[in-house]
Chain A
Amino acid sequence: MTNTTNTRVPAARTPARTAAPAPAAVRPGLRERGARWMAALFLVPTVIGIVAFTVVPIAGSVVLSLFHWNVIDPPRFAGASNYGEVFGDRTVLVSFRNTLVFMVLAVALQLVIALVLAITVDGRMPVWLRSAFRSAFFFPLVLSAASISVVMKYLFNQDFGVVNWLLGLVGIAPVPWLTSEHAAMAAVVLVYVWQQFGFSFLLFVGGLNNIPKEVHEAAALDGATGLRKHLSVTLPLLSPTLLVASVVGIINALQVFEQPYVLTDGGPGDSTRTVVMVIYETAFEQLRFGEASAVGVLLFVLIMAVTALQFRLSRRFVHYQ
């Protein structure tokens, strides 16, 4: 992929990418209709799939949330009472709080680690070494979250785990990672971030690659170096990438399930119980599918709201060149 040799400083894109699809002025009408048919045909598989396996199920969830249903007996209409029940349930409320806390911690940590590592890897070093680092940071992403959480459960064990042994080497007393409220949340966040930061890392590596050299040179001429250069020059240029990374990161973090399920089973108490865990337990363990659907609908609304808010905020902070 080539960059333009545009000399105006903050312009990195090829016209092909930025330009909207060409005006249809020259196209004959027949051809246009052909294209429309083709578009319809091309979209059929995706749209049918999404309607059948996402839109209809979401509608189904909304309907289900208005019923009491335990799989065994026919559903009974419940009106809004499931929502009342859900709002009165301390566990559900706590799970929403936990999920938000988890999201903030996990996404922030993940972005910071990824950004710092991406910038550091971008520095001068042998090509093979850079490639090796990139592979290493990316590797956890290919593993199964459930399996790796089983492994992490051993590593984070308070008395026999490798993590506390390592901390012991630098004189830190054993941390009850999985059995005390705050430490358990920290452990879940760490395990999650360990597996996920590679994703943001690669996004940032790509983003940095696309910042033209001229920008750095111009900044250097202005006397910007080191940290200041990154803060004032690199970050604004990376902001579109940052937006994508944080949107995807937040959407994923709000749906976290495997790590707390395996590591702590939501405990101690409710301290690491996430919304998706509550949905699973309410539906598949306690057979209260109506209430579970109500929680699901609320989570969906929350994710939509957070994402919308993000795009709204992004208008102020994201710089498109």
Chain B
Amino acid sequence: MTDSLLPRRSLLRYGAYGAAAAAVAGTAASWDRLTGADIPGRDDGSLVVATLGSAFSPDGVRALLDGFRKLHPDIKVRVNAVQAVDWSDFFAKILTQIAAGTAPDLVYVATEGVQLFARRLGVALDTWVKRDAAELREYFADVHPSLVESMMYEGSLYQLPIEFNAADIYLNTQVLRRAGAGFPDADWTRDDFTALLRRMKRASDSHFTPYFWTNRLWGGVVPWLFANGTNLLAESRAPGGDWLWDAFYPAGRRQGRGGGFRWTTPQATDDRVEEVYDYLASLVRDGLCTRPEGGNGQNLIGVFSTGRVGVTPAGGFWAGGLHLAGMRPDGFDVQYFPRWRTHRMQYGAAGYAMLRTSRQQDAAWEFIKYSARRDTLTRLFTTNQTTPARRSMLDAGRYRETGPAHWRVFYDTLDAFPGTGPIPAPPQVAEVEQVLLKHTGTALASPRAVRPALRRMQGDLERAMEREL
């Protein structure tokens, strides 16, 4: 045994020496990499733009930067594509950067974080918007006022929305055909919806679930709450904002708009909220609907594209996703969320927020303006990975390759239903979301669990909303 060990030992020893030598050489050669000294633009006064890594393709980011440099050769800019699994993860990383004193100047922020950033970290854009009103007129004319209002906080505007996603209903056309069902009306009701699920179920085998959804703030229970004319937190409007509405929107379209949404008193135990949970529980009980699954919806695209699921809520971002998953443009289609007591739907939007700590706010504003230009967005959104906030960008050409046939639904969710609003996202959103997901899981995990779960949800929401943040 000792004999055979010897050569192996010396081999290992030389291996170790070799590895050590290589490591020393490698370290010396990559010192800049290790210490971050090679990161272009670090500490050189560049304008730093933080984006959610998965939101834009590398090509899109390159195009974004090139275009800006051409327009403003004097401003050095760097994009920091932050890798995160979802928005709350992303915000956590941005806050860590702020704690480290390496805060970016601009952060890409979705509805989930608009009020958190506005309240604690952001700069209102009002003065710049007023100053450059002439230049922006065309932008606002192209963007639905609801999207703009969702970026306002207490009367001030904090971001220019550049993309949004409303929760519409995606239908697998192959499953529809199998069930012998026609494409639903734009005006369909909750009962039509239930009937369709039953039909689909009857026509399929056991490895099929008619309705699949992901337990998250966007597109989970919330669209049903909206359809039933209620919300998780009492919704009202902050005063103010007239400066914007009067300047950019004609009387008819600015009507009822205010200074941004306020989400305050939790109302999880309201009758209408209970109704929604009872309805979803009945769908689960009858095998028409999956139990809510947590996470980012990763399973969803695979099971929908392969016909194991018939209908699911998703936004314009799914057109690109389904195309990527190998679905033909006519393999699926999209319709409004069904109506219940109301026909109000929900969306989330995103744009760039400017941080208070930025020392080059004028340059940052130039980037915000640039980011909202039509040509910029056209270069950025090439694959239908989201819905552009500019109405004029949604046309037949954009959806020819990916589908769906009823692509108009995406923007008409706003235009035809002006009451459609953002998901409830107060500054305490992280905790509110966690409480919602958690108790939704329990409420629908077993029959009779709805009421106790909602009572606990109410208690936890009240505590979360009381917390100063």
Contacts and interface: CB of A to CB of B under 8 A. Distances in A.
Contacts of A262: 295
Interface in B54-107: 88-89, 91-92, 95-96, 98-99
B126 interface: no
A287 B437 contact: no
A127 interface: no
A265 B294 contact: yes
B430 A70 contact: no
Contact of B445 (A70, A159, A268, A286): A268
B290 A159 contact: yes
B430 A269 contact: no
Nearest to A157: B299
B88 A265 contact: no
A77 interface: no
Given A153-B299, A265-B437, A266-B438, A160 B120 contact: no
Given A179-B293, A265-B294, A159 B441 contact: no
A176 interface: yes
Interface in A242-296: 262, 264-270, 281, 284-287
A61 to B, nearest CB: 16
A301 interface: no
A286 B430 contact: yes
Contacts of A159: 207-209, 290, 303, 308
A157 B453 CA distance: 24
Q: Chain A interface mostly helix, strand, loop or mixed?
A: loop
B98 A153 contact: no
Interface string B280-313: 0000000000111111001100110000100000
B99 A71 contact: yes
Contact of A270 (B207, B291, B430, B438): B438
Nearest to A168: B206
Given A176-B291, A285-B92, A286-B430, A269 B441 contact: yes
Contact of A179 (B91, B292, B437, B469): B292
Nearest to B208: A159
Interface in A21-62: none
For chain A, give the interface size range.
20 to 34
B302 to A, nearest CB: 8
A214 interface: no
B295 A265 contact: yes
Contacts of A281: 434
B434 A264 contact: no
A285 B445 contact: no
A154 B469 CA distance: 37
Q: Which of B290, B298, B445 has the most CB of A within 10 A?
A: B445
Contacts of A286: 430-431, 434
A180 interface: yes
Nearest to A282: B431
Contact of A180 (B99, B291, B431, B453): B291
B350 to A, nearest CB: 19
Nearest to B294: A265
A169 interface: no
A268 B295 contact: no
A154 B91 CA distance: 27
B439 interface: yes
A287 B469 contact: yes
B215 interface: yes
Interface in B294-347: 294-295, 298-299, 302-303, 308
Contacts of A267: 215, 294, 437-438, 441
A71 B434 contact: no
A281 B444 CA distance: 23
B442 interface: yes
Contacts of A287: 92, 95, 430, 469
A264 B294 contact: yes
B439 to A, nearest CB: 7
A14 B92 CA distance: 54
Interface in A217-264: 262, 264
A160 B207 contact: yes
Contacts of A160: 207, 299, 303, 308
Given A71-B95, A160-B207, A267-B215, A154 B299 contact: yes
A201 B451 CA distance: 47
A193 interface: no
A269 B303 contact: no
A91 B89 CA distance: 20
Contacts of B91: 285
A157 B298 CA distance: 12
Contacts of A72: 95, 98, 120-121
A307 interface: no
B112 to A, nearest CB: 11
Nearest to A150: B298
Q: Which of A70, A153, A265 has the most CB of B within 10 A?
A: A265
Contacts of A158: 290-291
A12 B269 CA distance: 68
Interface of A: 70-72, 91, 150, 153-154, 157-160, 176, 178-181, 262, 264-270, 281, 284-287
27 contacts: A71-B99, A72-B98, A72-B121, A91-B438, A153-B295, A153-B298, A154-B299, A157-B303, A159-B207, A159-B209, A159-B290, A160-B303, A176-B291, A179-B290, A179-B292, A179-B445, A180-B445, A180-B446, A181-B442, A268-B441, A268-B442, A269-B438, A270-B438, A284-B92, A284-B96, A287-B95, A287-B430
In the complex, the 8 A-B pairs of residues with the closest C-beta atoms, listed nearest first: A268-B441, A269-B442, A179-B291, A265-B294, A267-B441, A284-B92, A71-B99, A285-B430
Interface of B: 88-89, 91-92, 95-96, 98-99, 120-121, 207-209, 215, 290-295, 298-299, 302-303, 308, 430-431, 434, 437-439, 441-442, 444-446, 453, 469
Given A153-B298, A268-B441, A285-B430, 13 more contacts: A70-B469, A71-B98, A72-B95, A154-B302, A158-B290, A159-B303, A159-B308, A160-B299, A160-B303, A269-B439, A269-B441, A269-B453, A284-B96
